[in-house]
Structure 1
């Protein structure tokens, strides 16, 4: 693999990042026991082509140690996940364990166990303090941190060199200039990969809005239409209007766009730790760098993301079984290999200690001190996330303020 890391370390993560849909459905948390076993229904998203197999391995080990408990796994794509969980809850078939992002709305509706009700004190105390704090609503944790990640800019060194760009950009002006020059190379090459489609529009929005000094709000208030968000939205339109991005960014999702970057047809795109594994698998000869995301003034910033595990209060008889599963999963010898295989960062103290000195994680770990996180403890975060996915892609054809106002209105309407 040809690459240079502007953080001064080498990287090799054996994980892929193309999302897949693989499912084996379940009928919900009914509390029924088959063959004398307690059955836990578990709904998770696909982080990579490996996700289903990784969870199946965890489940096999758990069931071997707990023969009186069975875990019924369902894996969905991120595109489908929110509609699936909504449908299940509305139908009275919520999973017992759910791996997702937004959770505060479920807590507000009193659907979830608290964290201390479904893990032992030893496991609860093992979570990094900042991560468990990000699962709290009014001082009570209602979810368990699962994985953490940071975003960085992946740069195709060869394309920038061909376009006469001497160094990766650090500011928006430099990014616009570099991306425009790369796009001018022609042959279907895009300077900057801008995924405004529904898969993860909220993440691309955060990269730009927050990179210009804006915010989505906090635990008390969602402020998408804050004037501080306007510079980032307007910069996106500048990029699109200048031809610095791929065609039709409003309907382009991150995963297929990153596949195009891996094949060497995009100059720059924001990626995740698993992107390294995707490159290793799909195009190991790609000459690339990983650098901080450019911002309006060049100040350091990254989008930090943390997904959670949570447990629905479907059947009180399952609480003990859920606790046993969580305690098993978060043991370092089970949890750390799972996190490494998916290419993310651990959220436990024991996991961090075990991975201390791992060069593979260094670039992203170095960015975490400057990370900003979604206001996921706000009960309206789920609606905010959905509004960005539904409306932010319209930015390529509508005014920046108009789109931000529409998103805020949808959030306020619930």
Structure 2
């Protein structure tokens, strides 16, 4: 659920200059004109090029809200997924938190007392519309601070032509279902023998390393936390999963010319749409990107290490409102954001899954008609495992993973050592 870089820093700078004489451009948002309130919103970009940047969505949303709410202006800055979390962290540290942020983690800000709760912000109707598992994931100590924005689950995408040409599937095969990791390895070897540049793309770069890592951990019987929701990052199944990637996939030259630790998700997607990648883990956004380039592809659940059933990974991105003195205005804006028509406009634009019951029901109807390819993603959502976003330490742990996990699959990499270091820091930051 990531995109290209787009910054509206210039407009942010103009806003700051406007507000400085009144507020010093500090944590409290600017007031302009006759007590007009300006809400500062920071959002992530889900597009893969300037033409489908999320900027257009937020601009239209802001215009519609301003028209319906005279006296409140909305200034939006959109950043790529590789930097938006860090941008918000910098703003908060500098005492210039935005009024509303749409980013990847909320719990550290909630634990620090910097956020309004959902109950303080939303109408009863809006608050009750969130899908139960996602609303629960947005809670810290039973209070919801993180409001789920959109969700996705992940499937293994494969290029039908490349697999057929390599002899993995028959020319007329309608589907392929690898049973375990040995099947993936065998398929990747055939793709390599057929001179496919990247048999299996393994993006462990900064953009979304924490997601790719979690998919493999879950498929190996592990995960970031155990059944008691305590960190288990350095568990034996997790170590084995990374050893498989190091020895069988990277070590045998099956992951292409770019080192996994330097490969970002969108770059892997781009390779797939160009017909250079045989297999990779992907989310619904890849559907349109691949179809637009005429790539014929199949989608199956990522097989587990031994063929046993394991939960798939789900991801939710979050909206939060900082305590900048604009609770009422922020609440109105969020009620507007979560109106069914606005939820549908965004999820349809990027082929993502809604975080609301009304949106989920609409998407279920669409999977039988206008969006049938979304059905397997939607089916997996209710039972999927999410990041441990309720832990205030998660943002830091996620950053640690982004910076270091790529080292584990390098030749000579030490998964056990790196995971132990990450786990030790995680447990220290989240004592139970």
TM-score by length of 1: 0.91
Which of 28, 31, 34 is matched with 1:33 structurally?
31
Matches within 5 A, 1:136-155: 136-155=139-158
Q: Which structure 2 residues correspond to residues 89-128 of structure 1 after superposition, within 5 A?
A: 89-128=92-131
Aligned partner of 2:179 in structure 1 is 170
Q: Which digits, 9 at most, give the CA deviation of each residue in 1:334-355, with x for residues without a partner?
A: 2211221122111111112233
User: Is residue 394 of structure 2 the alignment partner of residue 381 of structure 1?
Assistant: yes
- Tell me what 2:321 maps to: 311
Q: Please state how far the C-alpha of 1:369 moved relative to its aligned partner.
A: 3.9
- d(CA) in 2 for partners of 1:402, 1:65: 56
Structure 1 contact 17–277 (Cα < 8 Å) conserved = no
Q: What displacement does 1:168 show?
A: 4.2
In 2, distance between residues paired with 1:236 and 1:51?
34
Partner of 1:273: 284
My pick for the range that moved more, 349-358 or 157-166, is: 349-358
Which residue is equivalent to 1:5?
none
Q: What is the aligned counterpart of 1:263 among 274, 278, 296?
A: 274
Aligned partner of 2:62 in structure 1 is 59
The answer (yes or no) to whether the contact 2:3–2:80 under 8 Å persists in 1 is no
1:196 equivalent in structure 2:
204
Contact 1:29-1:40 within 8 A present in 2 as well: no
Task: Provide the aligned C-alpha RMSD in A.
Answer: 1.7
Separation in 2, partners of 1:201, 1:18:
14
Q: Distance in 1 between matches of 2:140 and 2:229?
A: 10
Q: How does 1:183-262 map to 2 (within 5 A)?
A: 183-186=192-195, 189-217=197-225, 221-237=230-246, 238-247=248-257, 248-262=259-273
Q: Identify unmatched segments of 5+ residues in structure 1.
A: 1-15
SS at match of 2:272: helix
Q: Which runs of 5+ in 2 are unaligned?
A: 17-25, 170-175
User: What is aligned with 1:6?
Assistant: none
Equivalent-residue separation in structure 1 for 2:317 and 2:3 (angstroms): 18
Secondary structure of 1:59's counterpart equals helix
Give deviations 1:344-386, integer Å, cap 9, x for gaps.
Answer: 1111111122333212221211222441111110111111100
Q: Please state if 1:409 is matched with 2:394.
A: no
Paired with 1:351 and 1:293, the residues of 2 have a C-alpha distance of 26
**Counterpart in 1 of 2:20?**
none
The SS at the match of 1:357 is: helix
Q: Is the 8 A contact 2:29 2:98 kept in 1?
A: no
Structure 2 CA distance for aligned equivalents of residues 78 and 391 of structure 1 = 18
Question: CA–CA distance in 2 between the matches of 1:379 and 1:357?
Answer: 37
After superposing the two structures, state which structure 1 stretch, 90-99 or 121-130, moved more.
121-130
Cα distance in 2 for residues equivalent to 1:346 and 1:17: 16
CA deviation map 1:137-175 (0-9, x unaligned)? 111101211101000111001111111112342311100
Give the alignment partner of residue 321 of structure 1, picking from 316, 326, 329.
329
Q: 1:255 to 1:370 in 2, by over 3 A?
A: same
Match of 1:366 in 2: 379
**Which residue, 403, 407, 418 being the options, matches 1:394?**
407
Q: Distance in 1 between matches of 2:310 and 2:426?
A: 29
1:344 corresponds to: 352
Report if aligned partners of 2:41, 2:77 keep a CA contact under 8 Å in 1.
yes
**Counterpart Cα distance in 2 of 1:301 and 1:412:** 24
Shift of 1:308: 1.0
**1:251-279 deviations in whole A, cap 9, x for unaligned?**
11111111011111111011111111111
The number of equivalent residue pairs is 394
Give SS of 2:28's match: coil
Structure 1 CA distance, aligned partners of 2:30 and 2:160?
A: 57
User: Contact 1:41/1:72 (CA < 8 Å) preserved in 2?
Assistant: yes
2:293 counterpart of 1:293: no
The structure showing larger relative contact order (alpha-carbon pairs under 8 Å, at least 6 residues apart) is 1
| In 2: Cα distance, 1:97 partner to 1:160 partner | 45
Partner SS state of residue 197, structure 1 = coil
Match of 2:172 in 1: none
How far does residue 293 in structure 1 lie from its aligned partner after superposition? 1.1
Output the CA distance in 2 between the equivalents of 1:107 and 1:43.
17
